Structure 1
Amino acid sequence: MTLMCLKESKDQNFFESQESIIALCTHLQELRDEFFQLLQNFVLFLFQISLWGNKCDLSLSGGETRSQKTNVINSLEELKPLILVNDMERLWSLLNNCKKTREKASITRVVIVLDNSGFELVTDLVLADFLLSSQLATEIHFYGKTIPWFVSDTTIRDFNWLIEQMKMSNHKWMSKCGAEWEAYVKTGRWVYRDHIFWTLPHEFCVMSQVAPDLYAELQKAHLILFKGDLNYRKLTGDRKWEFTVPFHQALNGFHPAPLCSIRTLKAELQVGLKPGQAEQYVASEPNWLTTGKYGIFQFDGPL
């Protein structure tokens, strides 16, 4: 058979297989779409777990234990209406765009400014694990406190101790998580940092003057997640803002990188609500700002 005949035979095979090729390409695209939707759903699911983990706060209970004794996964649907500001879709868009535009040699750094140790820290580490395994991030930097500002604040001791306890667990999946998390730390994909600024009495808008080294590090992030109430108070200067003041305005010039506050409400401070939204809660629940019942995902960054 001549080379010309071989070429014609190969070409004919392709053209005669058009129906099967179309079916295969269609199925591939459907699988991609389904995977993309599943990935988005699971990322948003883990963000919600991390939010409600913020309820486990010893400072709210006067030092008495506030362990998570029920499976929060089973409560997520009924908790959704309690999210007063929900910018999770913007978080997803930012992370997904970073993944799409990332070149082989570049990184996507997510910073998590931690709040409470214990169950909440586990929820944060599970979220961080999935961001890595799904390639939405290539490295996670955690910031804890040099000393506890409040009784349950995460320190380096708590971070390392929790990973060790997970690794030593008799449950195979807990121990697997612990071993993988230890490996992330050893290989530099997870980096734990602390800085004296987090325990100084400054609002975050002065960070660039008071702690320029820390501000410069945060500027390298593609996304900063601020967990908990104290971080929110420092983000907004702990001022008595009107409820409808935009979050961007309340940050008072603090914009090192796209950022999001993930918090359950435990202080008499909240911005970025819709007109009439706060009044609705005041009328029915006088203590709605301080019970930890409600939560927010409040994002500031490019639209």
Structure 2
Amino acid sequence: MEFDTKTPPYRTGDKSSFAYVSARDRWPVIITQAIDDVYRSVTESDDSAKQEEGKKIIAELARLKYELQHDRQLTPIRDDGKADVSVYNHELEQLGTPNWFDIPWLFCECYLYRRINTSFSLSTHWKTYDVFYRQKINTFRSSRPAVLELAARYKDLITQMGHDRRKTEAGRDEAQRILFFEMCEICLWGNATDLSLLTSLTYEDIQKLQGSEARKASEKNILVNDLGDAYEVLKKSQREGKKERRVDIVLDNAGFELYVDLILAGYLLSSGLATLVVLHPKSIPWFVSDVVPGDFAAFLGALADPKRFYETPSDDEKLQDKTPPPLSEKDSADLGFLFQEWTRMHAEGQLILRPNAFWTYPGGYWRLPSVEKNLYEDLKNSELVIFKGDLNYRKLTGDAAWDPSTPFTEAIGPLGPGSGVNVLALRTCKADVVVGLTPGQDEEIREKEEGGGDGGARKWAWNGKWAVVSFSQGR
């Protein structure tokens, strides 16, 4: 807390904020879904000891839901041997052991998922269980139309880059710039399928949020777009012939968003804009849909045999007596091309995973230089660190109630100019905090339908329809 911005954070008790809506409406649904998932796994198990332990976890999650809905005091994280226990409990003590509905939103939401994880990490049979895995993999399956569209597009682009020698150098540079913009915007809008928010949408609704037509229609909703500055940083290091040109991606969601993140990573490596891409997943199941290392393995497993993955009915389809349509030979070949490309890059050390417990600590990234110095120094070796999604943006800015015209470089504090870290945030807005807007822009959007109007709420920033792409040159 001592390293945080002095700008007040958003709190769960603020009725005009999305924090209030999240604590009262979203979080009980998320806990209920977790309970349902464990119950389902308990009934599928034939191990009596695992069943009994699973029932105990269900009871603990039900108690957590009760505490939340009845605005009880937050209790200390039980000691499961992880280094962050003291971090959470020390901050909880500094906050005065508050209640659920009167606490900084960012800390409280991190605490919620850490509490959920503790029930599993203290068990014997469920220690590595990902209570959100089923939702993540099912949502990736439901993203089939957009997955196939991008697979075909990616294969064509990579093939063309390998064979097209007709363009002049200037022509190749312009094509590379355009492709960089397109790949980053695909990554940006891939975040539209954040599972922690989509608690009631159907799979058909999810599919409408994806695909090229949806992206083109959404370009006008990018309120800040610093992609040009980020591209120039990468292009400069390429022109200078630096032996290692590293790009880091601090991941957000699994499923379709991980897929588009790898599309971007593969493009950066194939184009020569990067020679190494470091992916930063979370170390524990987090915010429902965030990537953990196991998601990466499951994702590659799905692409290794796409016909089996996409043609096998899901549990819900079995209940509805539905059979997925078969994949065409072309679709299978396109996905096979991706699998071969990405596994080769991974095997050759060009594409690596580097989890760190810091990403699931409470609080914001203002603390990074002081709290996790090794990680901070490591990120300085990167030409560009891309922070994906809403939570990473909230953490970068301390989830604070900044004036929306505050420069992004100011709002990220110690990670701004002079930090030694080049920061690019790709974020669809799903929380109140937003910076870098022109004066009066926030007020203008509030006047639009569902924008918030005179109610004091910035509702336009809650639904993922608007986005910001913000860059800070730290070195």
SS of equivalent residue, structure 1 residue 111: strand
Q: Identity of paired residues, percent?
A: 34
Could you tell me which residue of structure 2 aligns to residue 4 of structure 1?
none
- In structure 2, distance between residues paired with 1:201 and 1:63: 27
Q: CA deviation at 1:275?
A: 0.5
- Structure 1 contact 167–176 (Cα < 8 Å) conserved: no
Match of 2:181 in 1: 44
Q: Which amino acid aligns with 2:341?
A: E
Q: What residue is the counterpart of 2:425 in the other structure?
A: 261
Q: CA offsets per residue over residues 56-77 of structure 1, 9 Å max, x none?
A: 1001113766685255212333
Q: Which runs of 5+ in 1 are unaligned?
A: 1-27
Unaligned runs of 5+ in 2: 1-164, 308-331, 453-458
TM-score, structure 2 as length reference: 0.55
Find the partner of 1:194 among 349, 355, 378.
355
Residue 167 of structure 1 and its aligned partner are, at CA, apart by 2.4
Is 2:282 the partner of 1:282? no
Which secondary structure state, in structure 1, belongs to the residue aligned with residue 283 of structure 2?
Answer: coil
Query: Contact 1:145/1:155 (CA < 8 Å) preserved in 2?
Result: yes
Hey, what's the Cα distance between the residues in 2 that align with 1:202 and 1:217? Answer: 20
Q: Is the 8 A contact 1:114 1:121 kept in 2?
A: yes
For the residues of structure 2 that align with 1:212 and 1:36, how far apart are their CA atoms? 37
Contact 2:393 2:425 in 1 (8 A): yes
With structure 1 as the length reference, what TM-score do the two structures score? Answer: 0.86
Answer yes or no: is 1:69 the counterpart of 2:241.
no
Q: Which has the larger radius of gyration?
A: 1
**How far apart, in 1, do the equivalents of 2:214 and 2:193 lie?**
15
Partners of 1:211 and 1:259 lie apart in 2 by: 17
CA distance in 2, matches of 1:163, 1:95: 28
Q: Is the 8 A contact 1:263 1:297 kept in 2?
A: yes
Q: How many residue pairs are counted as aligned between the two chains?
A: 274
The answer to whether the aligner puts 1:247 opposite 2:408 as a matched pair is yes
Asked if the contact 1:167–1:177 (Cα under 8 Å) also holds between the matched residues in 2, the reply is no
Q: How does 1:1-303 map to 2 (within 5 A)?
A: 31-62=168-199, 68-70=206-208, 72-103=211-242, 106-170=243-307, 171-254=332-415, 255-284=419-448, 285-286=451-452, 287-301=459-473
Distance in 2 (alpha carbons) for counterparts of 1:120 and 1:256: 28
Write out per-residue CA displacement over residues 226-282 of structure 1, whole angstroms, 9 at most, x where no aligned residue.
001110111011110000111111111123411111010000010110011111011
SS of alignment partner, residue 58 of structure 1: coil
Which structure features the higher share of strand residues?
1
Summarize the Cα distance change of 1:194–1:65 in structure 2 as closer, same or farther, 3 Å threshold. Answer: farther
Structure whose residues are more often helix by fraction: 2
User: Match for 1:239: what amino acid?
Assistant: A
CA contact (8 A) 1:261 1:298 kept: yes
CA shift, 1:86, in A, is 0.5
Task: Measure, in 1, the Cα distance between the counterparts of 2:257 and 2:413.
Answer: 28
Which whole-Å CA distance do the structure 1 matches of 2:444 and 2:392 have between them? 26
Q: CA offsets per residue over residues 11-39 of structure 1, 9 Å max, x none?
A: xxxxxxxxxxxxxxxxx996222222111
